[in-house]
Structure 1
Amino acid sequence: MRVPLSWLREYVDLPAGATGRDVQAKLISAGLEVETVEQLGAGLAGPLVVGEVLTIEELEGFKKPIRFCTVDVGKANGTGDPQEIVCGARNFAVGDKVVVILPGGVLPGDFRIAARKTYGRVSHGMICSARELGMGDDHDGIIVLPPEHEAGTDAIALLELVDEVLDIAVTPDRGYALSMRGVAREAATAYGLPLRDPALLDVPAPNAIGYPVEVADPTGCDRFTARTVVGIDPGARSPIWLQRRLQKVGVRPISLAVDITNYVMFEVGQPLHAYDRSRLTGAIGVRRAEPGEKLTTLDGVERVLDPSDLVITDERGPIGLAGVMGGAHTEIAEFGEDSGTTEIVVEAAHFHPVSIARTARRHKLGSEASRRFERGTDPLATSAAAQRVVDLLVLLAGGHAEPGVTEIATPSQPRTITMAADHPDRVAGTVYGRETVVRRLQEIGCHVRGTYADGFTGTSGQEVDELIVTVPSWRPDLSYPNDLAEEVIRLEGYENLPSTLPRLPSGRGLTDGQLLRRRIGRALAGAGYAEAPSYPFVGTEVFDQLGLDGDDDRRRAVRLANPLYDTEPVLRTTMLPGLLATLRRNDGRGSHDLALFETGLVFLPKEGTKNGPARPPRLPVDRRPTADELAAVQAALPDQPRRAAVVLAGARERSGWWGAGHPETWADAIEAARTVAREANVELTVRQAQYAPYHPGRCAALYATDAADGTELLIGHAGELHPRVTKALGLPDRVSAMEVDLDLIERAGTGRVSGPRVSTFPVATQDVALVVDGTVPAAAVESALRDGAGDLLESLRLFDIFTGPQIGEGRKSLAYALRFRAPDRTLTAEEASAARDAAISAAAERTGAILRGA
């Protein structure tokens, strides 16, 4: 929000010597983010005057049109004689009033003006454009002033060229500061001065003869005011003061009616819209759009409306996107000689903020109006804003207001908040006292009642603990006692809060779970994976792309009430969409050998809830929440298990002078799961499975044993993605992935990290090749070998798989290397062979394995 200091002084009698920097400091102290103070007209020096063009001579023989003009500048040149000036602009004629800077003057940017010879003539000055004067970027031609201004008039004062403009970054909770009225209120409070509220106008009472309005959706539009002005002069144009104020706040003047509605919007904070009554058919309506309806907005774009869009209509259909942008069909023609607009209907309404925000985001159509509506406007300001527009139209366009006043309002009660009088003291850790709290709340427009025996007086009566605060209509952000406490604290000054060091309990370090997650991250990074965190928001179409069944639990996602993007309205139930999107993006930019990982939360609705539980309770800020309060919050949240996931594509090891590399495979994804599990001292059992989005023949289910009760836990899956999934997601042809539940891994772990056992005694190695049926998983054979070998087995490694006619159709040979070692002695050959034979016996008994060659 750009705030010209000259305009601000119209509502607050700021000290005469107060500069923009002074006001900036005051507003910053009050909590507004004033980013810069722009000095308009810095370096500008006269004489800069109004001139009347007397003659124009077209000079020939040059590459571009050049005109030699004589201009009456009154007595500004000291002689009263016409001033001779060379000019290249062509948008003026004899008799026009223009802005002239005479020799000796200085334009912004230290551009000094002197008499000089150019194009064969001597130019004594310059006729100025808006950009040359620092009024804007328009450089299409020079400024043509209204004819009523006399030649020789000081143009610096006339055009208000010297001013200071504060640029305020308005946070979403302070929508009232998107108006001169709101900023003036803050300035008045900061300086302790009275405010001249521009919304305090005499407004006629509603009656039955106003322009007809029908509101079909009172939830989306709870207040609608319509006024009509007729007999408007089509040739009326915006006066200079109105144009300059709009330019200073960053808006280009367009036409008188549009300029007036924009002016009142910036003044009062209430967006308005003006309709050409001759282009309206029947009553104005407010409703939700119907499927397939279309509207061409003022920017000339035809838009397909969504059923949740709130629209303004007449008998023919939509004529505007409510609170966002009007329609082209009812646009007021630019005022001028040929304009046919003589009757204007003024709309001032209050719309539901969330509805407007979603419509603006859906159509990618942000506007000054939607920016205010989505932050919350003052519902009680509609009548005053409409009256202000009517007054200005009557004053500047020569019209008169019809007696009809339409106002449709949904009955509502003022919002009240009950707050302990010392609540701001407890929040801030200092003592303000009741009188200060009440005074500050009254300064922001609150009505405060205290439950005193003889009513609230502020100085007498029996004090009690509670204040009943009625919130002003222009502060929709005030809903809870903490909001009121924040107002008291900011007005008293954040810089005045005492500096106290917190008393920290003795540290206990990171929890076991935090340490485990750090170890996992380091282990995966050490294995060659790059961490790639992603946002937890996804679109529901990704579940179809992943090939999930219709009854898959992962389709039950928590839907956000106000998503950042309409295309990603739910929270993820699996880690893979974000990682795969990152892989696709990097692959598309030329990085084809990728290994990415992420650890984070997924969000699963609790059983019995459709889209997640109800709103959680608000926790106190002046004490630690109780166990019951924390339990209530936890009960209101979805389940949030922590996961780890990896995705791989391209080469796992690159080839080079050192030898051949190899592409990633499903085995690398399984090994990544083992890498994660090893950090928790968990041994994984791998079994073949069918689980979307993995290829049914290249998918593994990963199991671990619960350390508490010995039950088997399914902790995740790994494998190669199905070709249909890679095609749907635009991924490389071969992609592998893994996702495991870290909470279950922690539950299966021992909770301790132990280093490898190092023995000084030699190892005894025994190789064994077993022939099994082709359907027997290698993991089942390995498990049997481990159990049969006993405690002497140090490690077991599958180093070869062979199939062929030598061992029979439908059978395979699995060759394992078994390493035996004792911690306290050197094993004999007999002991190693006995352990090997026991392992083979166990495998034969459980899997039907036969020793190859036997």
Structure 2
Amino acid sequence: MRMPLSWLAEVTDLPPGARGADVAAGLVSVGLEEEDLHGGDLTGPLVVGRVLDFTPEPQKNGKTIRWCTVDVGQNGQMLTEGKHQEIVCGAHNFEVGDLVVVVLPGAVLPGNFAIAARKTYGHVSNGMICAEDEIGLGHDHEGIIVLERLLGAEKAATLQPGDDAIALLGLAEETVETNVTPDRGYCFSVRGLAREYWHSQGSPAGGYRDPADVATPQANDSGHPIRLDDDTPLDGNVGCDRFVARVVRGIDPTRPSPAWMQKRLTQMGMRPISLAVDVTNYVMLAVGQPLHAYDLAKLDGPIVVRRARAGEALTTLDDVERTLSPEDLLITDSGERPLAIAGVMGGSSSEVDDSTTDVLIEAAHFDPTTVARSSRRHRLVTEASKRFERGVDPQVTAAAAQLAVDLLVEHGGGTADPGVTDVDHTTQRTAYLLDVTEPSRIVGVDYPRERVLSILRDLGCAVAESGEGTDDAHVLVTPPSWRPDLVDAPDYAEEVARIDGYNNIPSITPTPSEGRGLTHGQKARRIVADALAGAGFTEVLSYPFVAAELADQLGFAPDDDRRQAVRVANPLSEERPLLRTMVLSSLVDVLRRNLARGHKDVAISEIGLVFRPGGPLGKAPIPSVASRPDDATLEQLYAAVPDQPRRAAVVASGQIEQAGWWGPGRAADWSDMVAAVQSVAAALAVPVVVANDPDHAPWHPGRCARITLADGTLVGHAGELHPKALAALDLPPRTVAAEFDVDVLTAASEEPVQAREFSSFPPALTDVALLVRSEVAAGEVEAALRRGAGESLESIVLFDVYEGERVEAGHRSLAYRLTFRALDRTLTTDEVNDFRDAAVAAAARATGAVQR
């Protein structure tokens, strides 16, 4: 939002000699963000020029420039001895005879950009034909300024080459531009910005003059008929709760807008168009109320405000035919012909044109949500929609309409109809019982009671110190109509802190208390992540939302509890409304995306929460914020929250070991997944047992390992995914994965680990081959050997598995290497043999193993 200092000075008092930077600093002090400063930093000569002719010249870079001859009046005599100026221009939006803005050598443009005659594209260019952004008039750089389009043909006809363009466009006067946040919609007007600047100066008495403080006539029955007929309010909010209509007849369509109005519109970054349109834009900029002018002769009956019907369309003022949605709020003629999308843009069928003499002025208050959704639905952001969707003062409509009527009568020669229509369904804001000590408590600064009340009254709030609930510490505060964002104590506390001055809030660096370090669970999670990264997996994060059909794709049995997923009430995507019950179920999406991007060898991991309701969840109550919920309420809240264990998953596809000059590569297989889990368990010093699991989706029944603690507690599963699951998920064959419970490993690692004393004596190695049934897991055999071998066993490794000739059908041979070492002596052969025999005997008892 822009604000020329001259306009600001009409609404509030400026200190003597105040510059744009001073005003911007004042606005920043009350929480507004400075966007830019325009004007004041441009020195001439900047003049009006007329294009006499030009020659298009294509360039080697594919660009076509125009070698122009421009009449700049007497200025040309000083530069080129009376000859017209020759200027290179890259724009193509002008023709011979157009009036343009020319900056001549010796001028300095915004940004301290000095202009001089220079050689370019094979010519000496004596100046530059300017675009809006080059002289700080706007942000447009699509083409150069053509004054006939900017000021209108009638105004341009009064100009002569050589006229001072700085004075013409108001560029010598400084204009402050601010960035208006969504909660400060009232600042989209000079009225609002001036009030904020007044606050920044201490809110001096009499220092603010409300431009909307005008006398307005009472509504009567002779005005243009209006009917508000919103049968389907959006989110419970009526689309239009106030509509003011005024009529001005007999306007002279040939009269232009006054020069001062055109100048101000230009300074505000808007183009003057015609008197009726310029008046509505000027009033909108002044008081923040968007207006719309209709050609009364093009209306056939009463104006009806209603929602759009299915199949309706409207050609808007930008000549685009738009298909309307039933959520769009329309302004219609007699309830049938659409005239405008309320709060967004009018239609071409009732547009004010060069023949319009009778004008109907609309000043209405529309629901912010309705306008915002229509604006986004039609990709149509207008000056009106930007204001309505942030909230417009519903009490300024009549004043805005009156201001527009007065300007049309004064400058258009029209006559205002005595009829005044004001359909007002607005409701009064309710008073809030405010504890005046709340700002001090929230902000941490001692604000005296009288200071708080004074700031609230300066803001426009009605403060009642007597009434129900009031006492020395409580008052009833009714916010002003232009501040819909003031609702509760934190809002008022923020306003008190803002107006009193953010710089008055001391910056106190808190003294940190002595820390207690990471918890065991935090340390364990970091160890898990480090171990997986060390094993070659890249850690990723995925959204925990999954599709309903994923359970079928993974091959879960009908009674599998992993099918019991929590459904999100307002999912980010309707295609993924469920919360995951396995980390793997969302991790496979990341794998598929990477494969689709051309990464053929992928190994990724994720540590995250899963959601396991284990049955129907209770409904969560909404407790009061006044006090801590009681035990019964807390129990209901916990009952409504599913269990959320922490899991880790890994998945790999392609080569786990790359091929190169050192030899062939190796594809990832089920053993890599088992090794990944074992490496994590080893990093946490937790022994695990690996056994075959023939029936656990989504893994292959013959290549799935069940991993448990020594006491049988399930840790997780690892192996190759089932071919049917891979086909359903569109993943490559032989993709492998693992998922394990981090919480289980964390709990198992809480017991302190006793480091094994190092022995300097030599180890004794012995091998043993055992014949076991094929269904006996190698892990069970290893565990039995370990139990029977005694304390001198240092390590045990399975180094060979054999099935085939000279091995009984249904059996296999497992060969283990056992390493023994004593702490205090070198073991003898007899001792090692005894240890080995005891281990074999234990394996025979536990698994039926027979030594070969």
Give the alignment's TM-score, normalised by structure 2.
0.76
Q: Separation in 2 of the partners of 1:129 and 1:543?
A: 60
CA contact (8 A) 2:100 2:129 kept: yes
Q: Separation in 2 of the partners of 1:540 and 1:264?
A: 54
What is the aligned partner in structure 2 of residue 489 from structure 1? 497
Q: Separation in 2 of the partners of 1:295 and 1:836?
A: 92
Cα gap change, 1:134/1:601 in structure 2, threshold over 3 Å: closer, same or farther?
Answer: same
1:161 maps to 2:171: yes
CA contact (8 A) 1:226 1:345 kept: no
Q: Separation in 2 of the partners of 1:837 and 1:829?
A: 12
Letter of the 2:43 partner, please give it: L
Cα gap change, 1:642/1:361 in structure 2, threshold over 3 Å: closer, same or farther?
Answer: farther
SS in 1 for 2:606: strand
Q: Separation in 2 of the partners of 1:562 and 1:176?
A: 34
What is the aligned partner in structure 2 of residue 652 from structure 1? 656
Aligned CA-pair RMSD: 5.4
Q: Separation in 2 of the partners of 1:775 and 1:255?
A: 92
Shift of 1:508: 1.7
Shift of 1:47: 6.9
Shift of 1:570: 7.1
Structure 1 window deviating more from structure 2 (207-216 vs 99-108): it is 99-108
What is the aligned partner in structure 2 of residue 24 from structure 1? 24
Shift of 1:99: 5.9
Which blocks of at least 5 consecutive residues in structure 1 are unaligned?
457-462
Q: Separation in 2 of the partners of 1:539 and 1:358?
A: 28
Cα gap change, 1:206/1:216 in structure 2, threshold over 3 Å: closer, same or farther?
Answer: farther
Structure 1 window deviating more from structure 2 (181-190 vs 830-839): it is 830-839
1:447 maps to 2:455: no
CA contact (8 A) 1:233 1:342 kept: no
What is the aligned partner in structure 1 of residue 534 from structure 2? 526
What is the aligned partner in structure 2 of residue 405 from structure 1? 421
Q: Separation in 2 of the partners of 1:203 and 1:694?
A: 78
Shift of 1:295: 8.0
Cα gap change, 1:521/1:124 in structure 2, threshold over 3 Å: closer, same or farther?
Answer: closer
1:416-815 paired onto structure 2 within 5 Å: 416-450=431-465, 464-534=472-542, 556-557=565-566, 559=568, 574-576=582-584, 579-602=587-610, 608-609=616-617, 613=620, 618=625, 635=638, 640-686=644-690, 688=693, 694-695=699-700, 698-704=703-709, 713-722=713-722, 732-752=732-752, 755=755, 758-787=758-787, 789=789, 791-804=791-804, 806-807=806-807, 811-815=811-815
Cα gap change, 1:83/1:296 in structure 2, threshold over 3 Å: closer, same or farther?
Answer: same
What is the aligned partner in structure 1 of residue 210 from structure 2? 197
Q: Separation in 1 of the partners of 2:694 and 2:256?
A: 77
Deviation by residue 1:272-295 (Cα, 9 ceiling, x = unmatched): 6677785899864544887x9988
Cα gap change, 1:21/1:293 in structure 2, threshold over 3 Å: closer, same or farther?
Answer: same
Letter of the 1:442 partner, please give it: R
1:313-392 paired onto structure 2 within 5 Å: 325-326=344-345, 330-331=347-348, 336-337=353-354, 346=362, 348-351=364-367, 353=369, 375-381=390-396
Cα gap change, 1:341/1:799 in structure 2, threshold over 3 Å: closer, same or farther?
Answer: farther
Shift of 1:190: 0.8
CA contact (8 A) 1:419 1:469 kept: yes
What is the aligned partner in structure 1 of residue 15 from structure 2? 15
SS in 2 for 1:407: strand
Letter of the 2:18 partner, please give it: A
Letter of the 1:348 partner, please give it: A
Cα gap change, 1:190/1:130 in structure 2, threshold over 3 Å: closer, same or farther?
Answer: closer
Deviation by residue 1:600-641 (Cα, 9 ceiling, x = unmatched): 44566796558x845576599xxxx89979969974876554
SS in 1 for 2:607: strand
Letter of the 1:681 partner, please give it: A
Identical aligned pairs, as a percentage?
43
SS in 1 for 2:229: strand
Shift of 1:191: 0.8
Cα gap change, 1:505/1:111 in structure 2, threshold over 3 Å: closer, same or farther?
Answer: closer
CA contact (8 A) 1:598 1:646 kept: yes
CA contact (8 A) 2:105 2:117 kept: yes
Of 213, 221, 225 in structure 1, the residue corresponding to residue 238 of structure 2 is 221
Shift of 1:267: 4.6
What is the aligned partner in structure 2 of residue 459 from structure 1? none
Q: Separation in 1 of the partners of 2:823 and 2:323?
A: 77
Structure 1 window deviating more from structure 2 (425-434 vs 150-159): it is 150-159
1:238-277 paired onto structure 2 within 5 Å: 245=264, 248=267, 267-269=286-288
Cα gap change, 1:93/1:288 in structure 2, threshold over 3 Å: closer, same or farther?
Answer: closer
Cα gap change, 1:840/1:584 in structure 2, threshold over 3 Å: closer, same or farther?
Answer: same
1:82-97 paired onto structure 2 within 5 Å: none
Deviation by residue 1:701-723 (Cα, 9 ceiling, x = unmatched): 54447xxxx7x654544444455
What is the aligned partner in structure 1 of residue 850 from structure 2? 851
Q: Separation in 1 of the partners of 2:6 and 2:269?
A: 15
What is the aligned partner in structure 1 of residue 62 from structure 2? none
CA contact (8 A) 1:287 1:310 kept: yes
SS in 2 for 1:212: strand
Shift of 1:15: 1.8
1:212 maps to 2:227: yes
CA contact (8 A) 2:331 2:340 kept: yes
Deviation by residue 1:365-413 (Cα, 9 ceiling, x = unmatched): 76666655555554555555566666666667777777463636364x5
